[in-house]
Structure formats: C-alpha cells, structure tokens
C-alpha cells in the first residue's frame, strides 16, 4: 500500500484506524486533506463499499479536491462516495424523501436575497416599521433559530425569547417567523437553513428514514468539525448512532465562525459523546517556517478553552516577524505596498505569493490606494459573486419558475421583467386573490380571467403560457438548449443586448458566460443527471468559499481573515492590529468572544509560509475624525524574541512590554493632527471640547433602539450603539462616542436623538 509510505507516523496511524469513533486534531499546515483522502481510500482498499461512505465538508471546492485525490488511489470507485457540503448532501437526501414532510421533490432553494425579499413583503403586509424590523436582522434571527432547531411554534412559546423580543420593541418577530415559514412551504421552497432543519425534522419524525440512512452511511467523516452548529451536530450524531464509525477532523484553534452559529464545544466535548474515542494529533506544520509556527503557538497559548497540542515545524528557521508602526492607515498602506514592490523587484517574487489580510472589509481602501500608486496588481476577494449579479439572478429565476411555478420569489422577480405590461397593481391583486382564496400566485395566474379584469388578465395569461411552454421544453431538450430557449423567448437576452453601455455589454456577456457554463455542465462525463434542474441545484448550493480564488492569477490577494481560512501564501501581511479593531470592540465583553478573536489572529498568522509582517497605525479615521489607536494586545502576547520591530532601535527583551512608549502616549491622551503629505504629523492635546447639540436637537423615542444605530447625546456628542442589555424600563445601552469612547447609559434617562 504505497500511498501510506509518504505519511508521517501520526498521519499514518490516523489513516489506518478505520473502525470506531476517531478524532483527528489537525494543526495548521499539517496535511489534513491528505489524511482525509487517504483514510477514505484506505476504507475502500479494506473492502468498504464506497456507497456506504459519507464525507461532509464545508465547501464544494474541498469536496472536489478530495474526490480527485481519492480517484488517483482507488480509481472510478471514488465517484460512488457520498461526498459534499452539508447542504448539498442533505439537499440530495431531501429531494428523495421530500414527500414525507409535505414538500415536492423539485423544491426551490431560496438564497439570502430571496429570503430577505419575502421578509420585506411580510413586513409591508403587516405594516411594521422596516427600520425596527430590519430585514437583515429578522433574517439572522430566523436563521439562528433554525440552526438551534427552534421551530416557529417553539419560538412563540418560549418565554425567554418572547421577553427578549418585547424588551427591544420587536414583539412581532415570532409571528413574522411563522408567516415566513408558511410562505416558504406554500411556495415549495426551502432556504439554506431549512436544508439542515428539515433534515432534522425528517430524521426525528420518520424513524424508518433514519434507520435507512444509518444503514446506508456506515462510515462517516466530517471535515472542519470545529465549524459545525447544533443542527449539523445532531444530524451527524443521529446518523452515526448505530455503527459509531465516525471520524471528525478539525482544529479548535481555527474555530472562527461563532457568528454563523458554529459551536466550538462540538469538538471540545466530542469525547463525551464517544467515551471510547481514539484521538490522533497532527502536529507537524509543513507550510510555515519555525519562527512563524513559534509566533502562532505563543499567541494561541493564551486561550484557556482549547485542546492541547504541540505544533512544530522542521522547515527552516526563517526571518523574524516584522512589526511595523504607521502614523495613519494611509501610511500603513504605503508601508505594505512598498514592501511588496521591493520584495517583487529584488527577489523576483510573483504577486500571487502575497496576501494582505484585515479584520474588516472597510480596511481595504487604504491598501488599494497604496497599491494603485505603485502599479501593483491586486484582487479583492469576498465581493459580489458571479451568481449574485442581477442579470444572472433574473435568468435563473426563469429557470426556477419553469421547474417550480409555485416559487413566488422567482415569479415576482420576472413576471414583469422584461416589461410586459403587468404593473405593481396587478401583481398586488394577484397576491390578494391568492391570499383570499388560499391559492398560490401561480394558480391565480393560470386562471387569470376569473380573478383579474380583462385588461390585465390578458397580459398575465400570456405570461402563464410562456412559462408553460418552457416546462414542455424541459422534457425533450438538453439543459443548454432549454436555457438558451428561455433566455431568448423571455426576451431577456434582447433586453440586455439593446443596452449598448459598457455596463449593459458586461451584463450581456455575463449571460453568455452563464450559458457557456450550462453547456459545459451538460457535456460532463462524470455525472449521470445533467438536467437544467440539477445545474440549478448545484449553483444554489455554492458556498462563499467556492468563489474563484485562482492561484495562477498574478495579483496580490486582499481579503478578510475569515475569507482566508484554508488558503496559504508565501508572504502574508496582517494589518490594522489595534485595540477595538483587532480584537474587535464587540469582542471585549466576554472571554469566549475574545478567545474567538485570538483564534482569528492565529488563522491569519498560519496562512503564511515564509514571511509574515504585522502592522498597526497610531491614528485612524473613525466617524470622519482622526483618533488615536492603541496597539493590539495580540502583538504584546507574542514572545519578543521572534519579532523584529522596524520602528525601534533597541528591541526589548522577552517578558517586557513591546509598547511601553505607545501605551504611555495613549494613557496621556495624545493624538495626531491630519498628516500632511510632506511632513510627519504633529502631536496636540485633545482635551474633549464641550459638544454643541445639532440645531433642533430633541430626544427621540428610544423604545425601538437597536444595535448599530447612530445617535446624538446633548453632552457626549455623536455615537454608535454597540450593545443593549436588560429589560424595560431598565434597558442599558453601551454607546461608542467619537470623542469620548465607550459609555453605558440607562435609556430612560439618556435623552438620545436617533440619527439613523
């Protein structure tokens, strides 16, 4: 079994342990993907039927890479493994079993935009304040409930949840959740969270289905287990209950998705579920230099809540980690850009070997400006994906409607695009009739003369005939021919082609690119089902991490640290290492949140292979005002012997604070005036000036105050609400004021004016 020969002893032991519960703790750069793929290959070599193996990942890209590697060892048998993301695997399962929970097998999968559009419709119908019931907030509330397996009925009957909603003035959230769920069901649609929520419902309410899949999936492997939420945890636990041949792989030190519902306790407490668990630790880092690994270890050692491991590297010692201080965020960008340009010029490095990582997307501005000035090519990751572009979503809405005419979000999107004389008033009448007679919008449309006046019913009937003609087409034509027919006969292609602007041309080309993708899909030999409905299912389940991160494009990569997880670069710059930015101000109220921020820093550091540079600014614009910044506590946690401080002539010894001078300046409340191009900023005292209230200042009703709102206080000035706690009438608001920093105020006495 020569494929085992290239593994180190820890990797090999993990691969060869194929029976019983197994946890593989995989440190950064430790060859995790190789171990997973070889372990699956080893199962097959040992006689396990690939149809009985389930491998769950968090990105389609990871699943594709693993399958390709397994094929190199065991051949085409790898095609028979159930492998993919949680959402793609259980969407496939639900399509087979959908009827048991009252759904059609061709149910639509709503993306975030569809869900928020439906929420906005409900808010409008209920005449609720869309500022208080912000669609993003409502969507996240519903999503969080589903990930914790709280149904609408349970939500409405939970006294704690109801008390929390009413204390913030949002007592209708439970009702919105209930109506949202009913509308999705009526439309034959599931949102992303439903794919897991409904799987849990299916396995709970239909024991015969659970038994069927327990016997089918005799061997389970879960990648990135530290990123699983409660819903995912429960599915995996149920499926593995009979055979207990479950292997989870992950690194608690890289658990950074609590804001998405990930629960680090799933990996920390895994042994409690399986007392006879065998644990293997992959501790050799093959990616990074010894210095980079040592820095990462010294950082993560500060976290109390972790699985202990000793990550090491046998690579070269490497350069010390540079720490740069800048006077402003613009100067920080200049320092980073010049370092990249110099490295590229002197050593011939490729631009794609460099990455700039930051805590928030807003930090990219200063970096972009500096790179442009030096003509350094770059690409920002995490922007609008191809499938989120309006023209793409429009055409896909036609596809969705063709296969599921009850999909009301798709219907509303295209019923009058391109324009065909069906105005908002007509659409509203269709919705009212559907509600009044307990029909779907499609059922009303198909019998338009019965519910609408003759003038509007003719246009609506023509639209119904158009969609029905598309439905007939799907039964006899390929995915590509059907898609092209729909693009042409919906007149969407003609509408885009008639727009001769640069933007219009780009949109037309995007549609052509989508059609090219469908053509390529329909000609693939590695899949059996090639219908347009299968193509739509694939793209509906794309994850954020599946966006094109082409390593061959010679550009510097700019991205948030969250986006960088799983990637690696020779040279990494981690910028904006300042208190209240990184760690984020929102994370400073609890140890759990602070430890997650520290894990995020650990992830940033371990993306680097050869060189790592850290930087911070002593002043940064916030709220349009230049304010002082204190160096991040995370830099101080690094053992000083691994650092090279570019702004010091005398590096301090380990054990001493690296930033005594800066901390002293911060405590004395020094700041800088706006830097001039030709000179260093001058320091000046910033004793706070008395705030002059804006003209017509009058306190607002704060019963609907929510986090993120901007407010004005008659003495403290302008600020932003960062936290709310307590119950009426004693709700406390934590507000970050531009000039004074953070203050906690009792709302009933605060006299705040809500700006926005």
Count, in order, helices (H) and strands (E) of the chain: 32, 24
Complete DSSP assignment for 613-631:
EEEEESEEEETTEEEE-PB
Residue 19 DSSP code: S
Q: In sequence order, what E strands does 354-437 have?
A: 354-358, 378-380
Q: Is 702 a catalytic residue?
A: no
Residue 309 Cα distances to 27, 256, 279, 284, angstroms: 8, 18, 11, 10
CA distance to 45, 57, 178, 653, per residue, from 74 (Å):
7, 20, 48, 54
Q: Which long-range contacts (CB under 8 A, 24 or more apart) does 96-101 make?
A: 97/202, 97/206, 97/209, 100/202, 100/206, 100/209, 101/198, 101/201, 101/202, 101/205
Handedness of CA 103, 104, 106, 108 (dihedral sign): negative
Tokens encoding 311: 């990550």
Of 16, 17, 33, 579, which one is the catalytic site residue? 33
Identified catalytic residue from 224, 391, 394, 597: 224
Q: Is 756 a catalytic residue?
A: no
User: Backbone phi, then psi, for 736, in 5-degree steps?
Assistant: -95, 110
Whole-angstrom Cα distance, residue 396 to residue 499?
Answer: 20
Nearest one of 318, 329, 412, 324 to 370, comparing CA atoms: 329
Q: Among the options 32, 198, 218, 611, which is catalytic?
A: 32
Of the candidates 111, 194, 223, 391, the residue annotated as catalytic is: 223
Burial of 367 (0-12, 13-18, 19+ CB in 10 A): buried
Is 342 a catalytic site residue?
no
Annotate 248-273 with DSSP letters as a single string: EEE-GGG---GGGT--THHHHTHHHH
3-state SS assignment for residue 447: coil
R_g of the chain computed on alpha carbons:
28
Among residues 254, 426, 482, 560, which one is catalytic?
Answer: 254
Alpha-carbon gap, residue 161 to 165, rounded angstroms? 6
> Which is catalytic among the residues 607, 610, 620, 633?
607
Active site residue 607: yes
Residue with tokens 């992950």: 250
C-alpha 507/C-alpha 72 separation (Å) is 40
Cis preceding-peptide flag for 418 (omega within 30 of 0):
yes
Residues 664-688: b if buried by 16+ CB within 10 A, e if exposed: ebbeeebbbeebeeeeebeeeebee
Q: In what order do the strands lie in the sheet with 608-617?
A: 378-380, 556-560, 354-358, 569-574, 608-617, 321-326, 643-645
| Selection from 329, 308, 357, 297 nearest residue 612 by Cα | 357
Cα torsion for 401, 404, 405, 407, to the nearest 10°? -80
Q: Known catalytic residues?
A: 32-33, 223-224, 254, 607
């Amino acid at each position: 079994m020569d494929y085992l020969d290239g593994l180190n002893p820890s990797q090999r032991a993990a691969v060869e342990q194929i029976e019983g519960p197994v946890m593989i703790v995989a440190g950064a750069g430790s060859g995790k993907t190789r171990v997973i793929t070889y372990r699956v290959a080893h199962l097959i070599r040992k006689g396990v039927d690939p149809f009985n193996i389930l491998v769950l990942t968090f990105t389609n890209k990871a699943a594709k890479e693993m399958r390709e590697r397994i094929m190199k060892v065991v051949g085409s048998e790898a095609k028979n493994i159930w492998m993919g993301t949680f959402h793609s695997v259980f969407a496939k399962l639900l399509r087979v079993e959908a009827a048991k929970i009252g759904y059609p097998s061709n149910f639509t999968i709503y993306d975030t935009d569809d869900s928020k559009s439906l929420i906005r419709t409900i808010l409008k119908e209920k005449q609720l304040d869309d500022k208080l019931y912000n669609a993003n907030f409502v969507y996240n509330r519903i999503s969080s409930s589903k990930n914790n397996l709280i149904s609408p009925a349970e939500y409405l009957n939970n006294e704690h949840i109801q008390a929390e909603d009413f204390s913030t003035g949002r007592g209708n959230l439970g009702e919105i959740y209930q109506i949202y769920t009913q509308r999705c069901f009526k439309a034959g649609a599931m949102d992303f969270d439903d794919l897991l929520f409904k799987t849990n419902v299916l396995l709970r309410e239909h024991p015969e289905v659970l038994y069927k899949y327990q016997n089918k999936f005799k061997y389970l492997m879960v990648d990135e287990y530290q990123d699983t939420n409660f819903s995912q945890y429960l599915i995996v636990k149920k499926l593995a209950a009979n055979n207990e041949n479950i292997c989870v792989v992950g690194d608690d030190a890289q658990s950074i998705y609590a804001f998405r519902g990930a629960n680090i306790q799933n990996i920390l407490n895994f042994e409690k579920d399986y007392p006879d668990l065998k644990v293997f630790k992959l501790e050799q880092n093959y990616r990074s230099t010894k210095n980079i690994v040592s820095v990462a270890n010294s950082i993560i050692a500060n976290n109390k809540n972790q699985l202990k491991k000793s990550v090491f590297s046998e690579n070269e010692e490497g350069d010390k980690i540079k720490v740069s201080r800048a006077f402003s965020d613009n100067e920080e960008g200049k320092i980073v850009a010049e370092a990249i340009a110099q490295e590229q010029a002197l050593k011939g490095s490729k631009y794609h070997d460099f990455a700039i990582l930051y805590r928030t997307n807003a930090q990219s501005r200063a970096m972009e400006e500096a790179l442009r000035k030096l003509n350094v090519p770059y690409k920002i990751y995490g922007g609008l994906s191809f499938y989120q572009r309006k023209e793409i979503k429009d055409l896909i809405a036609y596809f969705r409607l063709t296969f599921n005419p009850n999909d009301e979000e798709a219907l509303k999107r295209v019923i009058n695009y391109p324009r065909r004389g069906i105005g908002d008033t007509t659409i509203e009448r269709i919705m009212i009739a559907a509600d009044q007679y307990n029909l779907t919008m499609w059922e009303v449309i198909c019998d338009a003369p019965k519910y609408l006046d003759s003038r509007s019913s003719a246009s609506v009937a023509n639209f119904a005939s158009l969609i029905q003609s598309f439905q007939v087409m799907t039964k006899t034509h390929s995915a590509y021919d059907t898609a092209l027919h729909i693009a042409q006969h919906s007149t969407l292609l003609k509408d885009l082609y008639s727009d001769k602007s640069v933007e219009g041309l780009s949109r037309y080309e995007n549609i052509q690119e989508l059609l090219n993708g469908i053509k390529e899909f329909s000609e693939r030999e590695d899949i059996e089902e090639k219908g347009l409905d299968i193509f739509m299912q694939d793209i509906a389940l794309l994850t954020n991490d599946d966006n094109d991160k082409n390593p061959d494009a010679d550009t510097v990569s700019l991205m948030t640290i969250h986006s960088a997880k799983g990637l690696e670069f020779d040279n990494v710059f981690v910028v904006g290492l300042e208190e209240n930015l990184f760690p984020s101000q929102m994370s400073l109220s609890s140890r759990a949140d602070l430890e997650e921020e520290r894990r995020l820093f650990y992830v940033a550091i371990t993306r680097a292979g050869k060189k790592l540079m850290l930087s911070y600014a002593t002043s940064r614009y916030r709220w349009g005002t230049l304010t002082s910044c204190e160096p991040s506590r995370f830099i101080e946690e690094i053992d000083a012997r691994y650092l090279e401080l570019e702004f010091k002539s005398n590096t301090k010894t380990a054990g001493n604070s690296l930033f005594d001078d800066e901390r002293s300046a911060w405590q004395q409340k020094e700041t800088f005036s706006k830097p001039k191009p030709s000179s260093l900023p001058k320091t000046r005292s910033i004793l706070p000036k008395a705030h002059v209230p804006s003209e017509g200042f009058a306190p607002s009703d704060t019963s609907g105050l929510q986090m993120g709102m901007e407010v004005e206080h008659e003495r403290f000035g302008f600020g932003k609400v960062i936290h709310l706690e307590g119950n009426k009438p004693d709700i406390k608001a934590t507000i970050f004021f531009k000039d004074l920093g953070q203050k906690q105020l009792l709302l009933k006495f605060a006299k705040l004016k809500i700006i926005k």
